[in-house]
Amino acid sequence: MDTMNTQFDMFFVIIIITVVVFIVYSIFNKVNESVLTNRAPILEIPVKVVEKRAQIHQRNKNHARNVFKATFEDLDTTERHTFSMSEAEFDQIVEEDIGYLKYQRKRFHTFQRDALAAEFEEDTASKEQFKIDA
């Protein structure tokens, strides 16, 4: 009977240690990610908005949270970047918009629509659609 209690105690201690190690590891990763982001340069690149999506995360009947994301495509490299943002910023962005994205590693700063570039893109698309020679 005594060995059974010892085994149970040892199993309980192993579970506690595993949980503590997991929590410390998670905290370390979040702090490390934050430090890397803060040290990264703030970049501004020409982009096109290729996708917008709002996701609702509902934990229970009383609590739901909205997550707003937009995907931007770098006009120079065609690399895609997806960022979470506030609802106010999300509402200002329209798919197919062209402008300048300012970001820092994985942190979204701003998107500034470039009206001239958007008009140029529309003119180019309409010329191709109707085969208009310039």
33 and 48 in a single domain? The answer is no
Query: pLDDT at position 51, please?
Result: 95
* Averaged confidence pLDDT in the chain: 85
CB-based contact 98:114 (threshold 8 Å)? yes
56 and 121 in a single domain? The answer is yes
8 and 57 in a single domain? The answer is no
CATH number of the domain encompassing residue 62: 2.40.50.660
More confident residue, 4 or 46: 46
Total domain count for the chain? 2
Query: pLDDT at position 68, please?
Result: 95
Range of the domain at 107: 43-130
Closest of 76, 69, 64 to residue 106, by C-alpha? 69
User: Exposed, middle or buried by CB within 10 Å (0-12, 13-18, 19+), for 74?
Assistant: middle
35 and 49 in a single domain? The answer is no
14 and 63 in a single domain? The answer is no
Model confidence at 73, pLDDT cuts 50, 70, 90, reads very high
Contact residues for 99 (Cβ-Cβ < 8 A; gap 6+): 46, 47, 49, 111, 112, 113, 114, 117, 118
60 and 116 in a single domain? The answer is yes
Q: What is the pLDDT of residues 27-46, one digit of tens each?
A: 999 999 999 989 999 999 99
Q: What is the pLDDT of residues 84-105, one digit of tens each?
A: 999 999 999 999 999 999 999 9
The secondary structure of 83-133, three-state, reads: EEECHHHHHHCCCCCEEEEEEECCEEEEEEECHHHHHHHHHHHHHHHHCCC
What kind and span of H or E run contains 19?
A: helix 2-39
For the chain, the farthest-separated pair of C-alpha atoms sits apart, in whole angstroms, at 93
Contact residues for 132 (Cβ-Cβ < 8 A; gap 6+): 126
